[in-house]
Structure 1
Amino acid sequence: MSNETETAVEEAARQAPSEDAHFIMLVVAAAGDHDWPALRRQLEGLDPADIADVMEHVPLETARTIAKMIGRLLPPEFLAELSWERREEILPELPADYVGQALDELDTDDAAAVAADIDEKQLGQVLAEADEDTRLAVEEALSFDEETAGRLMQREYVAAPEGAKVGDVIDRMRADAAELPDVFFEIYVVDPLMRPVGATPVSTLIRATRDTPIADVMQPLKALIRPEMDQEEVAHTFQKYHLAAAPVVDEAGRLTGTVTVDDIVDVISEEGEEDLLKLAGVSEAAQTDSVAKSVRSRAPWLLVNLGTALIAASVIRAFEGSITQLATLAVLMPIVASMGGNAGTQALAVAVRAIASRDLTTSNAPRYVLRESLTAMSNGLIFAVVLALVVQFWFHMPMLSVAIALAIVINFACAGLAGILVPLTLRHYGADPAVSSSVFVTFVTDLVGFFAFLGLATVILLHH
């Protein structure tokens, strides 16, 4: 094994889960030695999701080598399981005819997701190798914006006319079994204009007698999805109504596809991770991200944070004389700012989650503001007493204890307000509350904390 291969093996072993590390090392070694029979043996029989996991954990060059050597032998489903970053990197190494045939075998929603990551020059060649129905479905899906229902929509669905009987529907599904979606939950009942009027769960269908009109066992539709609807709104609809699937309709109300819960689970996971990272002022950091890419995504918010920190520092400088006369102030002022920052972060986390889940609306915003303000104020009173006792025990200065207690109460009150009002204000002006709220909340708590403590201490202790 070459030194370069050994280095790749070690890197993969560090990245892979401990239970798979040895297997990953074998895959990397086989790829490094261009031993395609060994590669085929190791990956053959694995579930497509496991193959995708292997491709995610090996170094990029190894993944590209695997794609070149045995890519056309791998099951097409593994492409749908890859992260978009890794898929984008290995698709150029796969033959156009293999990718085109893979799109034919995938559900249309997965085919659209794969096609979206193909380079424009290669996409034309790939679609030329696919069936006409697949090509039209992919082109339609790509006409919609990213992160919309049109991209999630599966064009395969099962529909039955209002006047059909259960037995007829079952017989038709059996006759057209090859055309059915791999997994489906409902049969949509449609009028003569192909507008859905209800849905019959598969579990209900198999319990009914053959001569039962399907209209008698259908359930009213809880939601209709438009293809341009944002995927986060679609996910909220699924959560609200506890849906397993929902029909997608065009402007005329005609049935054009369906969104299923497996895609919604992915959306909820992605949106949750995205909001969590945004709260820290960073974007998603994939295994394959370079240092330069990570720096570019994080530096702007660090620059904003530097600006707010300098403003807070200017408040400290304004009280430089007070700190010089009483050095104890320098010891205690970070405590006031830090505790206020934590209180603000707690309120902010509650607010951003409530906004994301649509629990926090314009109508109930005053109740949220009042609750978070009173919660922060109550905590401020508790910890003001605790900290005042600690300061008295340390320095035996009653007036200093009073100053820091008042500063804690003031900062906690402002922290609670900032934690709820900052994200609400950002949302009102069309900004994403998860992206920059933490920077501004920290700025408020630092500024108020330093100014309240140093100002009160100056007035009470030095000008008393």
Structure 2
Amino acid sequence: MSDDARLEEEDLLTAEMPEEDGPHPDDRIDDERHDEENRLKPKYIRSVRDAFESGDNNAVYDLVEPLHPADVADLLELFDKDERGQLAAAITDLMSSEVVAELNDHVREDMMEALAPEAVATIVEQLETDDAVQLIEDLDEDDQQAILAEVDSEDRAAIESALAYPEETAGRLMSRHFVAVPEHMNVGGLIDYMRHEGDLAQEFYEVFVVDERHHPVGTCALSWVLTTPRHIKLTDVMKRDQTLIPVDTDQEEVALMFQKYNLISAAVVDESGRLVGQMTVDDIVHIISEEAGEDVLLLSGAGDGDINEPIREAFSSRVRWLIANLGTAVVASAIIAFFGAAIEKLVALAVLMPIVASIGGNAGTQTMAVAVRAIATNQLTRANTWKIVSRELRVALLNGVTIAVLIGIATAILFTPQLGTVIAVAMVINIIVSGMAGVLVPVMFERLDQDPAVASSVFVTMITDSMGFFAFLGLAVLAGLA
């Protein structure tokens, strides 16, 4: 290697990285704006609000200017909907694409609708394609077209291509900025290309090697490139085994692939196998967080569960499940009514039956949570369904016997030994049924191509309550207690 070439590579290795805009998160701890958990202090927020309400836009700007874009987004979310536009106008120069990208979905949608298409287009052109798509995908069709009309043709084509894919798929979420080079190139040629090419992706972790049809044939990690002699061919150092993600792959499956294969980035290919984009680990962190929160909220029927969600949407998403829950509660009430005469004869039955239903409900919820997570992470599949059912049945049996012994002894002491036996047997039955329902209900939804987290809790609750009342009251009647 020549001295000039060696010096060039040393320059590449020792070049200073550009400084990030805004203060580094570690520099913001314990200052006048942030508390020990790096959240905006109430005192600071009040000072911004006081300046805002007094109409002193210069003071507002001076207070907000030192903030990191993520903190500016947090500050905007703390203001009321009708105030955010005025606050944004007071800090126009600070409303960068990074701030907009950090905003809550509902807040961002409100602000995009309030801004002129030209202003939104300016922000869109500063963003990566995947972030730009996220910015406008939830807007009305007319608003989307008005914004895209103001975007330059290259960016518009990329955004329209992304919007053509279904939501929450790799094609919609992928970044179209990546580094791909032909397989005949050597390491030195790749270094020279990356150094002198002016339109490289801002962030990338590996280089994709493609054939003449633009099909990916391997990858080269940047660490390999920087530590390999210039004359070595890429085909001699590249990793040929790679995980390729089809454009129509659901985001949950993409996240599972990254987790299973310990990926930092992965190529996204179209129907013909051509490289069209990449997914990176920062995208996956966002997906995992989003999906985890979404499943928890779906289990409770709380809709988006977002405090910025419009009241009408929050009401609509929650009330339908409460109505469904009302219907299932009627079933349990009908069972109680059927045994009304028995309850009148022995008041102790009315005292104890909520315990049976409550414990059964908790047991069912535990099993259901495990089953939904196992389905989401591909641990529960058609191949091992009955193995999992058998496992949960054994766990339910052990739990049922343990709880039955405790409640049976307590009831025998407080009431009668016969009633203690009845509630103990009813408890075992209900916990076993609850365990079975907790697995089989989510599996049934999954087999029907429905999200198992959506309505499982409603049906599992109905089954556990109904079976708890039926088993306890029915056994009491058979035992001649009432």
Q: Same fold (TM over 0.5)?
A: yes
Q: More displaced, 240-249 or 288-297?
A: 288-297
- Please give the TM-score of this superposition, normalised by the length of structure 2: 0.89
The answer (yes or no) to whether the contact 1:72–1:98 under 8 Å persists in 2 is no
| 2:106 corresponds to | 85
Measured after TM superposition, the shift of residue 428 of structure 1 is 1.0
**For the residues of structure 2 that align with 1:168 and 1:417, how far apart are their CA atoms?**
61
The answer (yes or no) to whether the contact 1:160–1:190 under 8 Å persists in 2 is yes
| 2:421 corresponds to | 402
| 1:27 corresponds to | 48
| 1:183 corresponds to | 203
Question: Are residue 448 (structure 1) and residue 478 (structure 2) matched?
Answer: no
Corresponding residue SS for 1:170: helix
**For the residues of structure 1 that align with 2:97 and 2:252, how far apart are their CA atoms?**
28
Q: C-alpha offsets along residues 102-125 of structure 1, whole Å, 9 cap, x if unaligned?
A: 222211111221132444434334
Q: More displaced, 56-65 or 149-158?
A: 56-65
The answer (yes or no) to whether the contact 2:371–2:439 under 8 Å persists in 1 is yes
Corresponding residue SS for 2:91: helix
Of residues 118, 142, 152, the one that matches 2:163 is: 142
**For the residues of structure 2 that align with 1:326 and 1:17, how far apart are their CA atoms?**
59
**For the residues of structure 1 that align with 2:419 and 2:135, how far apart are their CA atoms?**
64
| 2:214 corresponds to | 194
1:47-126 aligned within 5 A: 47-126=68-147
1:150-189 aligned within 5 A: 150-176=171-197, 178-189=198-209
**For the residues of structure 2 that align with 1:250 and 1:430, how far apart are their CA atoms?**
24
| 1:388 corresponds to | 408
Measured after TM superposition, the shift of residue 52 of structure 1 is 1.2
Of residues 434, 447, 452, the one that matches 1:428 is: 447
Corresponding residue SS for 1:129: coil
Measured after TM superposition, the shift of residue 233 of structure 1 is 1.2
Amino acid at match of 1:416: G
Amino acid at match of 2:100: L
The answer (yes or no) to whether the contact 1:187–1:202 under 8 Å persists in 2 is yes
| 1:307 corresponds to | 327
Distance 1:343 1:281, change over 3 A: same
Measured after TM superposition, the shift of residue 401 of structure 1 is 1.1
Q: C-alpha offsets along residues 7-65 of structure 1, whole Å, 9 cap, x if unaligned?
A: xxxxxxxxx99742222222223333332222222222422212111112222122111
Of residues 318, 326, 333, the one that matches 2:346 is: 326
Distance 1:92 1:429, change over 3 A: closer
Corresponding residue SS for 2:175: coil
Corresponding residue SS for 2:219: strand
Amino acid at match of 1:431: Q
Measured after TM superposition, the shift of residue 97 of structure 1 is 3.2
**For the residues of structure 2 that align with 1:321 and 1:331, how far apart are their CA atoms?**
15
Measured after TM superposition, the shift of residue 230 of structure 1 is 1.1
| 1:3 corresponds to | none
1:362-377 aligned within 5 A: 362-377=382-397
Question: Are residue 38 (structure 1) and residue 59 (structure 2) matched?
Answer: yes
| 2:302 corresponds to | 282
Q: C-alpha offsets along residues 236-288 of structure 1, whole Å, 9 cap, x if unaligned?
A: 11111111111111111111111111111111101100100111111123222
Distance 1:309 1:404, change over 3 A: same
Measured after TM superposition, the shift of residue 152 of structure 1 is 0.9
The answer (yes or no) to whether the contact 1:225–1:249 under 8 Å persists in 2 is yes
**For the residues of structure 2 that align with 1:382 and 1:73, how far apart are their CA atoms?**
61
**For the residues of structure 2 that align with 1:341 and 1:119, how far apart are their CA atoms?**
42
Q: More displaced, 371-380 or 75-84?
A: 75-84
Of residues 249, 253, 256, the one that matches 1:233 is: 253
The answer (yes or no) to whether the contact 2:215–2:274 under 8 Å persists in 1 is yes
| 2:33 corresponds to | none
| 1:342 corresponds to | 362
Measured after TM superposition, the shift of residue 412 of structure 1 is 1.1
Corresponding residue SS for 1:461: coil
Identity %, equivalent residues: 44
**For the residues of structure 1 that align with 2:66 and 2:199, how far apart are their CA atoms?**
26
**For the residues of structure 1 that align with 2:311 and 2:451, how far apart are their CA atoms?**
25
**For the residues of structure 1 that align with 2:158 and 2:39, how far apart are their CA atoms?**
41
Aligned residues: 446
**For the residues of structure 2 that align with 1:27 and 1:92, how far apart are their CA atoms?**
24
Measured after TM superposition, the shift of residue 303 of structure 1 is 0.9
Give 1 or 2: higher helix fraction. Answer: 1
Query: Unpaired segments of 5 or more residues in structure 1?
Result: 1-15
**For the residues of structure 2 that align with 1:17 and 1:295, how far apart are their CA atoms?**
33
**For the residues of structure 2 that align with 1:433 and 1:192, how far apart are their CA atoms?**
44
Corresponding residue SS for 1:434: coil
Q: How big is the alpha-carbon RMSD for the aligned residues of Structure 1 and Structure 2?
A: 1.8
Measured after TM superposition, the shift of residue 321 of structure 1 is 1.0
**For the residues of structure 1 that align with 2:450 and 2:129, how far apart are their CA atoms?**
33
**For the residues of structure 2 that align with 1:35 and 1:349, how far apart are their CA atoms?**
51
Amino acid at match of 1:245: S
Q: C-alpha offsets along residues 341-387 of structure 1, whole Å, 9 cap, x if unaligned?
A: 11111111110010011100000111110010111011111111111
Corresponding residue SS for 2:453: helix
Corresponding residue SS for 1:248: strand
**For the residues of structure 2 that align with 1:243 and 1:273, how far apart are their CA atoms?**
23
Of residues 229, 233, 236, the one that matches 1:216 is: 236
**For the residues of structure 1 that align with 2:293 and 2:312, how far apart are their CA atoms?**
22
Query: Unpaired segments of 5 or more residues in structure 2?
Result: 1-36
